[in-house]
A and B are shown apart, each in its own frame.
Chain A
Amino acid sequence: MNEKDFTLIHNYFNGLLSPQDVVMVEQRVMRDEVFKQEFELQKDMEAYPRRRGKRQEFIESLAAVEKEFFQVEQNKRTPLKARVNLRRLIMAAAASVVFLLSVIWLFQQRATPTYEHYAQHDPLSLTLRGETSTAISDAEKAFANENYQKAEIALDQIISTDSSNITARLYKGICQIELNKIEPARATLEPIAEGQSALRSEAIWYIALSYLKEGNYSACEQALSGIHVGDSRSREAAKLMKKLKSKSK
């Protein structure tokens, strides 16, 4: 392979060759193994950025599904000794929790639903197996520390190199809501809510919470109606919807 061969391959993929030259390149791929290898690598490189977005969406789907599996077994695998030692503590804690929950429940029955009550964010996890970057680690740490300003900056950095990273975009929207940038937050979340990814209902949920934060209860209800039974967040959405309806009566 020489410089001229590489230029030929580049020009092929840039669509700059004449029809005769295109045929010539394709014939050479069939008979020249070294040329074929370089041609195939260039083909993979041309497709990579598009394929990377698809892979990211696929991994997000896996993450959404795998929560149901493996986790149950983890509970089963808790060592017996630990369970026995923890039993008394758990019973005492449970009694306190029941009492506290009863008190909280009584208050909540009368209280107006608030954003703060519902804004329980899952931890941000963008690290793929074997892949990490400074921006990813900054974003995860900042989000875990509730430093939403720093998290938003790191997430912007991630999105600038991979605009198809839906998880990063979702969490950017969450950061914006936390920072009271409500309109930009909805602009960030709406394309996800209108898409077909595994995070669609998460995005709708946060759009609803953005309205709740503004005290716009009717818009909040309207957004919640986009979450269907069986979607993630459907139970929380049903509870919030019920509360909003009882409030408006």
Chain B
Amino acid sequence: MHSDHKYIEALRQNDQILIRDIYVNHADNVQRWVQSRGGALEDARDVFQEGLIALFEKAQDPAFELSCPLGALLHIICSRKFIDKLRQKGRDTEVRNEEERRYTEEGDADALTLAEESLAEKEKQDRLGRAFEQLSELCRNLLTMLSKGLSPKEVVEQLQMNSLDTLYRRKNACGERWRSLYAEMAI
């Protein structure tokens, strides 16, 4: 485990003092890197925030242990997010240049794997979120109550359902709808 693992714990615990340290130690580097490639300050702020959210999502896996310097990992994640931004803006030449540079510069295999896993986890959570938003209000309430630890009996009472059986049938139907929306978004 790398000594920077304390920052992963900080993301898990929402420890603002150490989160601030992450900004102190790495925000400038990311900002300089983005601006040196023609990105705006806003772009730098966005990719840094998205990078931290990706790490936060990865950190939700209790088995995750940081095995490389946090700066190296953040750099790869933020540079990937910046390339995505360039792609969205249709700046194809810059995307090609960055992609080429990526293959020669991204040396640390551990950091590369962790970056890809973090970005994939964020993408999955974002997609789950977009699909969840499209569910009915009843589905969202029911799934939220159960996820947050209310007992099935309490949920039946709060949502004025007839029985536990109705609750489970409704929950399964909401889950199926959610799954199908999630799958559609992958296409």
Distance between Cα atoms of A2 and B172 in the complex (Å) = 15
Distance in angstroms from B69 CB to nearest chain A CB is 20
Interface size for B (C-beta < 8 A) is: 48
Contact A160 B137 (CB under 8 A): yes
Distance between Cα atoms of A162 and B144 in the complex (Å) = 8
Given A61-B16, A66-B45, A129-B46, decide whether A47 and B147 contact each other with a Cβ distance below 8 A. Answer: yes
For residue B37, CB closer than 8 A to chain A, the reply is no
Distance in angstroms from B131 CB to nearest chain A CB is 9
Given A55-B125, A66-B45, A70-B27, decide whether A45 and B19 contact each other with a Cβ distance below 8 A. Answer: no
B residues 114-138 near A (Cβ < 8 Å) are 124-126, 128-130, 132-133, 137
Contact A69 B147 (CB under 8 A): no
Distance in angstroms from B38 CB to nearest chain A CB is 13
Contact B31 A73 (CB under 8 A): yes
Contact A49 B137 (CB under 8 A): no
Closest residue of chain A to B56, judged by CB?
A58
Q: Mark B156-187, 1 if CB is under 8 A from A, else 0.
A: 00000000000010011001101100100000
Interface size for A (C-beta < 8 A) is: 42
Could you tell me the dominant secondary structure of chain A's interface residues?
helix
Given A65-B16, A131-B130, decide whether A161 and B140 contact each other with a Cβ distance below 8 A. Answer: yes
Contact A70 B175 (CB under 8 A): no
Contact A64 B179 (CB under 8 A): no
Distance in angstroms from A30 CB to nearest chain B CB is 16
Distance between Cα atoms of A162 and B143 in the complex (Å) = 11
A residues 10-68 near B (Cβ < 8 Å) are 10, 14, 16, 41-42, 44-55, 57-59, 61-62, 64-66, 68
Contact A131 B147 (CB under 8 A): no
Contact B14 A69 (CB under 8 A): no
For residue A121, CB closer than 8 A to chain B, the reply is no
Closest residue of chain B to A57, judged by CB?
B14
Contact B147 A46 (CB under 8 A): yes
Instruction: Name the one of A66, A74, A163 contacting B144, with C-beta atoms under 8 angstroms.
Output: A163
Distance between Cα atoms of A41 and B49 in the complex (Å) = 26
Distance between Cα atoms of A16 and B144 in the complex (Å) = 19
Contact B19 A69 (CB under 8 A): no
**Chain A residues with Cβ under 8 A from B19's Cβ?**
61-62, 65
Contact B53 A44 (CB under 8 A): no
Contact A131 B144 (CB under 8 A): no
Contact B60 A51 (CB under 8 A): yes
Distance between Cα atoms of A55 and B125 in the complex (Å) = 10
Distance between Cα atoms of A6 and B179 in the complex (Å) = 11
Contact A59 B53 (CB under 8 A): yes
For residue A249, CB closer than 8 A to chain B, the reply is no
Q: Mark B53-71, 1 if CB is under 8 A from A, else 0.
A: 1001100100000000000
A residues 87-143 near B (Cβ < 8 Å) are 129-131, 133
Contact B23 A66 (CB under 8 A): yes
Distance between Cα atoms of A131 and B14 in the complex (Å) = 21
For residue B148, CB closer than 8 A to chain A, the reply is yes
For residue B98, CB closer than 8 A to chain A, the reply is no
Closest residue of chain B to A64, judged by CB?
B16
3 smallest beta-carbon distances between A and B, as pairs? A49-B147, A49-B144, A50-B147
Binding site for B on A (CB under 8 A): 6-7, 10, 14, 16, 41-42, 44-55, 57-59, 61-62, 64-66, 68-70, 73-74, 77, 129-131, 133, 160-163, 198
Contacts beyond the supplied A49-B144, A61-B14, A133-B133: 8 A-B pairs with Cβ under 8 Å: A14-B152, A45-B128, A46-B147, A53-B148, A55-B56, A73-B31, A129-B49, A161-B133
Binding site for A on B (CB under 8 A): 11, 14, 16, 19-20, 23-24, 27-28, 31, 41, 44-46, 48-50, 52-53, 56-57, 60, 124-126, 128-130, 132-133, 137, 140-141, 143-144, 146-149, 152, 168, 171-172, 175-176, 178-179, 182
Residue contacts A-B, CB under 8 angstroms, 7 given: A14-B171, A44-B125, A45-B143, A49-B132, A49-B143, A62-B53, A70-B44
